Amino acid sequence: MSKLFEAHAFGDQTFKNRMVLPPMTRCRTDQPGNVPNDMMADFYAQRASAGLLIAEATQVSEDAQGYSWAPGIHSSEQIQGWQKVTRKVQEAGGRIFLQVWHTGRISHAVFQNGQAPMAPSAMDTDENLSVWVAHNELDGDRSGGGGIQACTPPRAMTLDDIKRTQDAFVQSAVNAREAGFDGIELHGANGYLIDQFLRKSSNKRDDQYGGSPENRIRFLTEILERMAGVFPPERICVRFAPHNMARGMDDPDTPETVLLALKRMADLNIGYVHFAEADWDAEPNVPEEFRALARAIFPNQIIVAGNYTPERAEQVLDQGYADLVAFGRPFIANPDLPYRLQHQLPLAPIRDAFLFGGSEEGYTDYSVAE
């Protein structure tokens, strides 16, 4: 039998198979307050046959927001909302982690009480950064429409801002535990705040959080050291996208910086690293040498994501470069994806128009195979 569908144990957890639902922002919380709801509980519970689910990127604090209707985990209403999700997933036999993020400079003044968002450094990028802002954020229209807005140029974080933001990440783990999550994933990929600290292209600081690679990984590793007192370290994951240079993140040394962070994660016995590889429809671009180095440095679980087919998944598992493989868009359109792949049934196509914002349509109305 193919490895993908075999049960797999790590630490004190056993997974039904090696398939992961990766975090996917869908902008469907209740308003006001970015509160997870029953519709979201249904979406995740429908996909509980994945070995591991990782819930969508979730704000650690109010100022962590960059997209309308993305969920938070900093208010008691949000914690209660997430409890609905974890309960329903666990009743369906699933395991679920929460991805937590701060979007840093990928934000807009409407989410920041009219102020500039925070980032490691106040700087322009060569690329125009943008975020999805709902009409109701701008003019009180509750009809649900929205549009892409240019990001508001950021201000540089003070040492107090850094400490306060790290505190918010640690508190998000306390809240995620209270909400019933089995583990937590830090969003260190795709150009958001942790990634902004990692890279020379977005981090021009001259204090202990900028300059050398050791300094640029410090924002992350200090959070991990403290988070490991909340969740056992083997239930903590960090997501990186070392080969993704979009969003003004073009620092060719990023893979090396990420490998340094991996060494520190191994020392802390962090359970998982999750690599976001090809973004959208980009060609897979991870050199074999990087995979081999990551495997040699990191003794725990490696998750990979990015345009994986069952064949590519099997190959990366056989090579020993990954322990778990995530399937994103196929899982949106096929809630019973493990069953369909295992029985070689046809896959339903995704309806792209419903990815961000809206109702049950294009969210919880995908059917399972007969």
Ligand X SMILES: Cc1cc2nc3c(=O)[nH]c(=O)nc-3n(C[C@H](O)[C@H](O)[C@H](O)COP(=O)(O)O)c2cc1C
Contacting positions for ligand X (CB under 6 A) = 22-25, 56-57, 99, 187, 189-190, 239, 276, 305-308, 327-330, 355
> 177 or 329, CB closer to ligand X?
329
| Least distance in angstroms from the C-beta of 318 to ligand X | 19
Q: Active site residue: 44, 67, 192, 321, which one?
A: 192
> 281 or 370, CB closer to ligand X?
281
| Least distance in angstroms from the C-beta of 280 to ligand X | 7
Give the closest residue to 99 by CA, choosing from 195, 21, 179, 185.
185
> 133 or 276, CB closer to ligand X?
276
* Residue 217 token pair: 């990984």
| Least distance in angstroms from the C-beta of 324 to ligand X | 13
| Least distance in angstroms from the C-beta of 56 to ligand X | 5
> 280 or 299, CB closer to ligand X?
280
272 is catalytic: no
| Least distance in angstroms from the C-beta of 89 to ligand X | 17
The amino acid at 177: R
Residue with tokens 């999750």: 274
Report, in angstroms and rounded to the nearest whole number, the Rg of the chain calculated over CA atoms.
Answer: 19
Beta bridge partners of 45: none
> 210 or 290, CB closer to ligand X?
290
> 210 or 220, CB closer to ligand X?
220
> 158 or 309, CB closer to ligand X?
309
| Least distance in angstroms from the C-beta of 276 to ligand X | 4
Report the 3 state secondary structure along the chain.
CCHHHCCEEECCEEECCCEEECCCCCCCCECCCCECCHHHHHHHHHCCCCCEEEEEEEECCHHHCCCCCCCECCCHHHHHHHHHHHHHHHHCCCCEEEEEECCCCCCCHHHCCCCCCEECCCCCCCCCCEEEEEHHHHHCCCCCCEEEEECCCCEECCHHHHHHHHHHHHHHHHHHHHCCCCEEEEEECCCCHHHHHHCCCCCCCCCCCCCCHHHHCHHHHHHHHHHCCCCCHHHEEEEECCCCCCCCCCCCCHHHHHHHHHHHHHHCCCCEEEEECCCCCCCCCCCHHHHHHHHHHCCCEEEEECCCCHHHHHHHHHCCCCCEEECCHHHHHCCCHHHHHHCCCCCCCCCHHHCCCCCCCCCCCCCCCC
| Least distance in angstroms from the C-beta of 140 to ligand X | 26
Q: What residues are labeled active site? A: 192
